[in-house]
Structure 1
Amino acid sequence: MIIIVFHIDSQERTYIERITQDTAEGIKTLLKNDLEKRITSLSEQSKLSVISSGMSQSDWDAISKNLYGTQYGYQAIGWIDSTFHVRKRIPKHNNEVTIDFNLALNPPALLTAIKAQDTQQRAVTMPLAFIHGDEGIGIHIPIFNANTRGNKLDGFISGVLLFKPYIKSVVPDFLLNEYYFTLFIDGHKVYSDQSNQPAIAYAWSKSSSYYLQGHEWEINVSPNDEFLYIAHYKVMRILIALGLFITFIIVLAAYTYLFARSKLKDERYKIEHLLKNLPGMAYHSSNTINRPMILVSDGCENLTGYSRAEFKKNRMLWRKIIHEDDFKRVEKSLNEAFKVNSPFELEYRIITKNSSIKLVWEKGGPVSSIFNGEIIIEGFINDITSIKEAEADLISSYAFSDAVVNSVVEAVITIDQHGLIQSFNFAAQVMFGYSADEVKNKNITILMPTPFCDQHDQHLAQYLKTKQTHIIGVGRELIAKRRDGTQFPIHLSVSEIQNHENTMFVGLIRDITKQRASEEQARLHTEQLAHAERVNALGEMAAGIAHEINQPLTAISLFSQTAKNFCEKGKLEKLPSIFEKLSLHSRRAGAVIERMQLMTKKGQRSKEVIDCIFMIKEVINLAESEARLRNITIRMTACDEAVDVFVDRVQIEQVILNLLRNGMEAMQLNTCDNGSKIELEIKLNEDKNVEISVTDTGAGLAQEMRERLFKPFSSTKENGTGIGLSISKSIIEEHGGHINFCDNKPTGAIFMFTLPIYEKRSRE
């Protein structure tokens, strides 16, 4: 036995080494042939058309799409112009960052392109780390314009292969599943599908290599654990298991003989013990109208109050126990079962020894007696009184819960784990226009518009798999669809109900159409008030703005007169500089008017991403004219780094302008006794939000104004409307920020507000 095992082991090892080496050679051939084919295809592709950097995108797509679609594994195919910049690429998705990429930023890639240009031959890069973060190689095919002297370089058609997707597209899956595969280029490991290769697999390792474009490609493969198990160790285990199995059969045969003798004794005891512990009564009875019992189990006394002896000696007949009102029905069922020789099942009442009434369930059938061959009845009888009472209570409870659910004003819908509707209360029927029967066992997606209906089943399956909640237990506003196809806003909250069989979900839905309308009306009202406040503020700033516009207009008049004089004197060479100054002052006047138009514009606004410092400088430019009239200087202190915010630009500018004007008015009322500078500061707070503060040196805030400062129609000004700070508070909170104030020691006030920083999403 040992000699046979040793011989088989030796043959298996030789076989595994040979097939592993063949696999390494096969993978080498696949990679070598595929790369040569790709290089040839790119070269042939470059000859199909005159390629130039001025080629339209549609022409490029027509040339490159066929090659990209037929040879899998490319990360991208691109056009690189003579300045070594990537100008076109396919596909566009996942390659957005490569457009206009300069190969000079990747010296190894640039050197390969220059080599291809100098030799006028195709070139393959050494392994590179690409923008995507993965390693791969690039193939450059130079293209020269034959119509120019010296064959001027037009550019390159280049293909990018990332090792991971490329290997998986070329090497068959079954080889990657059976072997650990590692690829080296010039001794550098560029691909491995097993970071921690077991030492036992490494011992079987085989390799093969070849040269491509001056680079050595080495293929290293070794069989994985599963392959070794199937090809080698499993055979050995089968041989060992076979010997153990033969030994086991011998022992089992002896054990079976001894066990069979005691088994027969135990079976009778088990049957008797089982019948004794049954909750009801097992029986054999004669097939006569009185149904005398031949054999009953011990459960008869708990069921009827009568002992086994009373039934066995026929002192009590089963006919006398059956309730008189049910006897004919029971007798009829038994006779029908005997006529067709089939089992029966029925429910009826019995009268126990203490005269109580029980509801029983009986199941049995006709059998042949082992003693005399006569047909007798064999069956089982159990007390179901408590079960029936529980069913009645459950039906009553269901009726009560249905009444409660149908009485609520919100729609209540339950679905199972497959998304099928199980209940649909009256409010849901009114809200969606379906009857309960129409939606019963229909998918809940019939109540959802596109695209929500397309995603629901996937989200439900994902939740059942991961139990990661997105809407379970959390209220959420969504869009629903009625039977007639109209859509309306809803508030949905979902609860999960679990039992041992499956999972149910209960959804509580409230129609928020009126609520949305009220919110929109309130928003429009706030917008109207904000617009009125802006117009009022700009009206008060009119003198300063007029002064701001008069300066460039006066300059325009003077420069126009000067230009006229130069024309009359023939000094035309000085006119260009005069016209440049006329244009500069015209743009200056136009910028002032444009800022006014932007601030007074009324209507639907949209949020945008904007540099916070740039936005505040725009407000300062708008307010400087008024500040000069008041002999006040606006000083801005900004943080070192640029900060982007996602805001309604006009609304936030209105808030800053309102705080600046309030501060300047407070300082002027105090005759600027404490200084003539108002400070505007931008910084990042501890919560990583941008904080904008306006600090004045006025008289400060009276104690009675502090609690109602941000309430509508509360003002310290003689002619103020009292809505500026109220509107500012609404605008900042709508943007997810907070506004507050504090004292400026020794005199004045500081108003500050925060805005969330806009964080760019990283590219995938």
Structure 2
Amino acid sequence: MNDAALLKAIIENAIDGIITISNRGLIESINPSACNLFGFSPEEVIGKNISMLMPSPDRERHDGYLERYQRTGERRIIGIGREVSGLRKDGTQFPFRLAVSEVILSDRVIYAGFINDLTREKEAEERIRNHAAQLEELVEERTLSLRKTVRALQEAKEEVSLSLEKEKELNQLKSRFVSMASHEFRTPLSSVQLSASLIEKYAVQEDHRNISKHVNKIKNAVGNLTTILNDFLSLERLEAGRVEPTFSNFDLVKLSEEITEEMQLITKQNQNIIYEHTGLTSMVRLDQNLLKNCIINLIANAIKYSGENTFIEFNTEVTSEKYIITVKDNGIGIPAADQKHLFQPFFRAHNTGNIPGTGLGLNIVRRYAGLMHGEVDFESTINKGTKFTISFLIDDEKTNYSYN
């Protein structure tokens, strides 16, 4: 086989496409691989401008490229490994790597183009990109899921911690209750038992003065027990959510005067409750029973924690914006360290000593006031007294009287 036949056989059997063109850009030869790539037969392309195998904008610019190269003539290799797009007979495009070499023959110059199809490579790259995108999306989803799981675990941890804290608080409340109840019930019951025995003794002696004295002790002891039981009942109803306020219009001054008269009966020796009202009207819209409970509780505390020969100031005020109730005493006061715990159930300040009490009253006052959309505040100085204030913002839509 001569050299020409060998060369032809190599070109015809080459895996890559090979096309030769003239110096005017006309196709002179095309091997089978190139025909398969572009979908043309040799007869359809030989003699035609190479631009027919190019999509826009290369189709329109090719002749200009070739002319500029021929004019400068600086290189023997036009391009090595340049990625371009080819135009098939059916109008579709495909990517390939193009290397163009200038071939100088004895009588003319031709250009040989070597075409390496990149379709599968590009498809593989696209699959890799898609797979990478899917992986990124999956990683993002898993990361989001992991964050949600971590957040859920954190919330669960917080809930467990809160539950443990609540359980701890509950155990403390139970301990306080047992301690308080054992003391508060034992003292009046012992007093009742002792007084009953003494009454029996004095009855034989017909000592009416001592009988009356011990009957009063029994009454006081029973009254203390009744207060304790009422506090427990109120707390139980509040905890069960069975307390619903019933709003109605009523005369605050009339109610306050009745409470003052009632509470004056249980004051200590020479203790006096001084009541005053400020405002152009005395009509309010609240739950009368809940408010009465709050005021009685505050005045009872003022009586209990103040000494003999003292004044208890009880004031009410009705403005265009608020209802305000204040109770001020000159008693033992509340230690600064205890003030932040004052409204906790079963809590009693450390300076109360043997003064009876459940530690529930102020908790009930605050919760009753809250049910009526009110707030409870206080000021206190140790050994100088305490001032409690209950305030309610007026809801004009629910108020059917004027202040004129």
Larger Rg: 2
TM-score range normalised by the length of the shorter chain: 0.3 to 0.5
Q: Larger relative contact order (C-alpha < 8 A, sep ≥ 6)? A: 2
